[in-house]
A and B are shown apart, each in its own frame.
Chain A
Amino acid sequence: MKHSELTFQAIVEATPNAIILVNKEGRIAYANHQTEKLFGFNRIELISKKVEMLIPGRYHEHHPSFRSQFFAAPETRAMGSGRELFAMRKDKSEFPVEIGLNPLVTVEGTMVLVSIIDITARKKAEEQFRLVVESAPNAMILANKNGVITLINAQTEKLFGYQRKELIGKKLEILIPKNFSENHPHLRESFFKTPSVRAMGVGRELYAIRKDGTQFRVEIGLNPIETDEETVVLASIIDITERKKHEVMLALELKNKELEQFNYIASHDLQEPLRTVSNYIQILEEDFSGLLNNEAKSHLQTISRATLRMRMLVRTLLEFSRLGQNKKMVSLDCNKIVKDVVADLNSLINATQTTILIEELPIIQGSEIEIMQLFLNLINNAIKFRKKDTSPEIRIACNKNSNGHFEFYVTDNGTGIDSKYFNRIFQIFQQLDAGQQIEGYGIGLANCKKIVEMHGGKIWVESELGKGSTFKFTIETV
């Protein structure tokens, strides 16, 4: 043996990998000690045998042509990039491998030095990692530096509505709404510059997009993972739509409660000084009448009137704030409710010669006192805002709208309402016709609005000045 051959052998024997030398015909010219250990063959059993003895049978057919290709253009490279490679031991058991190919020019012609690494342990670790990701309760996505998705779990399929095969190999940006995805590659780059475990987009609201184009709020955790080849990122994604909704609801509920409490306390405490004013006016009138001239008495009466009106306003506010505070939803026959309301208004109806036509009404889920008050207010208004010389005609009916909810309407032949007031009439203390001195304190329709909204519905008016009005409201069908 030449000196150089000895040196070569010494090096090859010392490496921790299995190394074999294969000639153009695919025969093994040399195998090191590691190869014996890895494959369970004795060196003598290998030398000058076809290399296919180390390869599972199913690859035998194509292997010779791959070999020819290598020798046609010999270069140092990994074997079968992108494919999973398996080797076979003497006992026919298989194991996953990674193989490096190096052309080697010898006196016997060009050969290939094959370096074989057993990657069973790595594959097992990868499989365990895959299983952990798969069983995670969150959507998890593994992506590389270029943003290409390499792994997803079942939760990801469920959350985004994609099949696994539709996402693997695609860019991450497919899952990000357009207005965010443009900047995403840049953000990804900066993550990979200093990879660390952190939440994505701190301080920003993050959205994701499903296959069907719908967007939803998410929270995303990022974990860099070092693999043999590169750093990748594992993103854990949580749909926080429900949580956000819940948070908003809670905040709203709290605000409403605070507001009602404030309203109640304010209106309650306002009553006291007002009553005191009334009381002391009474004392002046009763005990000091002789000391006051007619002008002073007239001023006292004005104070008294204003105080009374203020008390009415405060009381109305109080009633508004208490509306629905103890509501109990029960099954209500609207035919009976309206009949009762009409009976209550009997004297007003007779005095004004009002005719009321009631069509078949449904049974709804509602709070009895509030629904009664709703109809009472609407019928009362229809009579109150009648034309001077026309007796009121009111029609009450109900349809089902396109959403399947009940749509009630109360139509009158009264004065009608200018369209610029359509919204204002439902606000508290907005009396349009103050000049006409019609009693009431501008709260009826505000109450109606609150009641309808309590029942998950909407109220609005359709009207034309001089041509009567139709008040419509919806009630959710349960």
Chain B
Amino acid sequence: MSMKVHCIMLVDDNKDDNFFHKRVITKNEAADVVVIKESGEEALEYLRKNQEDSLHPHPDLIFLDINMPKMNGWEFIEEYKKLDKEFQSKMVVVMLTTSENPDDRIFAKKEDIIADFRTKPLTKEMLDEILTQFYSL
């Protein structure tokens, strides 16, 4: 049986991918809410604001792309680390990217913040695996 979290955030500049990934998530009822941010800056702003006022759905899981204009995935991670640690601990960050560059994969392994590294597109199987791994207590 499929698991479900409250909120999943997609950080990706590719609108087509966002549409497709949101569809996979909702179709498989993996989250109540899907928040889409098309840049690292926007995503950070959302998280920073929520850290103060908690007015918006808090992401349990973030899918993060690497190759984005301006702030890329790695730069986002650097900024993300500056958020409150307890606040951070309520989220799981998974890299979801086209990159088949082994360097990125090696880099991701070294980064504690990044729980997993996946290649697009997101599938039902992938979702199940990730949710089972990080949310079955």
Q: Which residues of A contact B (CB under 8 A)?
A: 264, 268, 271-272, 275-276, 278-280, 283, 315, 318, 322
CB <8 Å contact, A271 and B98 = yes
CB <8 Å contact, A275 and B100 = no
A-B contact pairs, 16 of them (CB 8 A): A268-B98, A271-B100, A272-B14, A272-B98, A275-B17, A275-B120, A276-B16, A276-B17, A276-B20, A278-B121, A279-B16, A279-B17, A280-B16, A283-B20, A315-B100, A318-B100
What is the CB-to-nearest-CB distance from A391 to chain B, in angstroms, rounded to a whole number?
37
- Complex CA–CA separation, A279 to B15 (angstroms): 13
CB <8 Å contact, A280 and B20 = yes
Please give, as numbers and ranges, the residues of chain B lying within 8 Å of A318 by CB-CB distance. 100
The residue on A at minimum CB distance from B20 is A279
- Complex CA–CA separation, A94 to B17 (angstroms): 100
Please give, as numbers and ranges, the residues of chain A lying within 8 Å of B16 by CB-CB distance. 276, 279-280
CB <8 Å contact, B23 and A275 = no
Please give, as numbers and ranges, the residues of chain A lying within 8 Å of B99 by CB-CB distance. 268
What is the CB-to-nearest-CB distance from A197 to chain B, in angstroms, rounded to a whole number?
54
Residue from A271, A315, A318 having most chain B Cβ neighbours under 10 A: A271
Partner of B98, one of A264, A275, A322: A275
Interface of B is mostly: loop
The residue on B at minimum CB distance from A272 is B98
The residue on A at minimum CB distance from B123 is A282
Please give, as numbers and ranges, the residues of chain B lying within 8 Å of A278 by CB-CB distance. 121
The residue on A at minimum CB distance from B17 is A276
Residue from A272, A279, A283, A315 having most chain B Cβ neighbours under 10 A: A279
What is the CB-to-nearest-CB distance from B126 to chain A, in angstroms, rounded to a whole number?
13
- Complex CA–CA separation, A420 to B22 (angstroms): 53
Please give, as numbers and ranges, the residues of chain B lying within 8 Å of A279 by CB-CB distance. 16-17, 20, 121
What is the CB-to-nearest-CB distance from B50 to chain A, in angstroms, rounded to a whole number?
30
What is the CB-to-nearest-CB distance from A272 to chain B, in angstroms, rounded to a whole number?
5
Partner of A275, one of B101, B102, B121: B121
What is the CB-to-nearest-CB distance from B106 to chain A, in angstroms, rounded to a whole number?
10
The residue on A at minimum CB distance from B120 is A275
Please give, as numbers and ranges, the residues of chain B lying within 8 Å of A276 by CB-CB distance. 14, 16-17, 20
- Complex CA–CA separation, A271 to B16 (angstroms): 14
- Complex CA–CA separation, A219 to B20 (angstroms): 65
CB <8 Å contact, B23 and A283 = yes
- Complex CA–CA separation, A315 to B121 (angstroms): 15
User: 15 new A-B pairs (CB below 8 Å) besides A268-B99, A272-B14, A275-B121?
Assistant: A264-B101, A268-B98, A268-B100, A272-B98, A275-B98, A275-B120, A276-B16, A276-B17, A279-B20, A279-B121, A280-B16, A283-B20, A283-B23, A315-B100, A318-B100
Which B residues, 106 to 124, have Cβ-Cβ distances below 8 Å to chain A? 120-121
The residue on A at minimum CB distance from B23 is A283
- Complex CA–CA separation, A271 to B67 (angstroms): 13
Please give, as numbers and ranges, the residues of chain A lying within 8 Å of B100 by CB-CB distance. 268, 271, 315, 318
What is the CB-to-nearest-CB distance from A346 to chain B, in angstroms, rounded to a whole number?
26
Please give, as numbers and ranges, the residues of chain A lying within 8 Å of B23 by CB-CB distance. 283
The residue on B at minimum CB distance from A273 is B16
